[in-house]
Structure 1
């Protein structure tokens, strides 16, 4: 796929049909996404769970949704039928909030034939698509050995070493970025020098992504002066930051680097610096 996004109308007409992955989730109720999937999903879609499938083991110091090992992801991909030439479309019910993690993981694993359904389930239904309740059985394929990472990342030590001066975007809600509130992690605030780009600001009112030109104009003051591809993105746990990575690709701004541990990892170590910002 030549674009990180696919429209609902294009998906309806796709032949052969791609492998569909439903990534719906709720941070407050880890069972809610799968329950919604059972009640109705795109025909043929398999369910993908953020914690079980897309995240690794937590240690208390590596964030709320750490990455799995590359061998573990390779085995998971094979178990759901993702071979080297298989086209994949990921979606959710939250305008890409969680499906972007699956999109990024597959890209990180070197699988380029993956796109996010723009607007998710709502866009599919608006376009005339039906929902199904039958749960398909995965069709496993042979494991493809994991190649070198195809998407850039930085760990906490590398982020710290590049402060100050790192061009870092924080995809969390403004009140969490500023440090007004912190409903999930142990410390409020953000990594010093980070700029805020709330992932929901990438979207139009209908839940689809803004046009490329509009995204490019909105990101311009945030990335001004940064070399193409040198921006680093973070969020609470390395999930919604992928939304900004995708948006920047749509905008033609290159591939941003992900800090997977993000604020939940950063704030777990009291020795790491914290910054707060007043409301605008």
Structure 2
């Protein structure tokens, strides 16, 4: 009479790999620990440029009406997202690549995409204080009235993650830190300049509006403008759809291109 014998799932002395949630939480806490001494300066530097830009542009936009002021506010929130996430993630991933940290993580029972998600989530959390100060400070400086929608809780991650993933891709592929930083800053300026991000569409030439349709910053600014200032229109679904799709594409590229030598 035959019997079904259940073989052990692991060999004697072999440990099971931790769950995906455990992997994520462990790496997430490691990433936050990396900034335990410098998080204050990281947050402060992330606020300076958007607030200065808000003050300067707001001086010229006051005579153009409330619409121009709303674009200045939201455009500088996008600037804060770019500085706090794309540029910082770029430098961090490049540092990890050059100093063997990625090889170290490759020896651990951690999936590559979990490492990437944990890095992006850590920088998202670190960017929230700067974003909050930029929103409150910009509102006080410009005199814009907020009409915050609960959908902001969905829009903020969707607007942050693709820029962070683009920053990780830059840090993973550039040869030198100087090249990575220069490319990241140039890309920041280009994304802000293309399309109606900081400047209303009726103040832009038609070709700039057309080119802006291919810029993720345009859709991020549109979504943020609707959930912060209202009203929410049919364009909102297009905006979050584009940002969600860009997040998936950028994350896929980072997962493919990130060095994982061991």
- TM-score by length of structure 2 reads 0.28
Q: Quick check: which one's strand share is greater?
A: 1
Q: Quick check: which one's helix share is greater?
A: 2
- TM-score by length of structure 1 reads 0.26
- Larger relative contact order (CA 8 Å, sep ≥ 6): 2
Which structure has the larger Rg? 2
